[in-house]
Amino acid sequence: MAMTLRLTEEQERALALLAEAQGISKQEATTRAITEAAARHVRTERVSELSALGRERYAALLDRLAQ
């Protein structure tokens, strides 16, 4: 799917630096950055969910340990 991406001059420079550092095109740098950000977001959400479940499951034990 084609898409137009509008960047500020600063964002354009950052993208160019990222692409050059990785030895890839700006297109590839953009798609990798989007994919990596999405993966981090999903992992962060999952860790938060598991943490909440653990706190709920072991609430009594955690309370005792805190005393």
Quote the CA–CA distance of 43 and 61 in Å, as a whole number: 26
Segments forming the whole domain that contains residue 39: 21-66
In a domain, 35, yes or no: yes
Which residues lie below 8 Å from residue 16, measured CB to CB, with a gap of 6+?
A: 26
Residue with tokens 């297109």, as numbered in its chain: 27
Sign of the CA dihedral with 17 first, then 8, 1, and 33 last: positive
In a domain, 27, yes or no: yes
How many domains, the chain? 1
Per-residue tokens: 17: 């630096």
In a domain, 41, yes or no: yes
* High-pLDDT (> 70) share of the chain, %: 100
Per-residue tokens: 31: 């798609």
The answer to whether residue 33 scores a pLDDT higher than 90 is yes
In a domain, 54, yes or no: yes
Q: What average pLDDT does the structure give for the chain?
A: 93
